[in-house]
Amino acid sequence: MSIETRRFPDELVPDVVELRRLFNATLELFELATNPLQTRAVSGGFGRKVANQGFGRI
């Protein structure tokens, strides 16, 4: 990558530090979302609520 972008590895250190911070934040959010012991607020589910349940029924 350094050859293609003509950057030295020591110039990439700030980018790597930021990526590490973002990676750790992602892991924390993933843990909160998937932890079975964590209580979650019910927000109504995923996606839109289907309002027309009787469509196509006789």
CA distances from 21 to 13, 26, 28 (A): 12, 9, 11
Rounded to whole angstroms, the Cα distance separating 56 from 3 reads 62
For residue 19, pLDDT over 90 is answered with yes
Tell me what percent of the residues of the chain surpass a pLDDT of 70: 60
SS3 label, residue 18? helix
* The model's pTM: 0.51
For residue 27, pLDDT over 90 is answered with yes
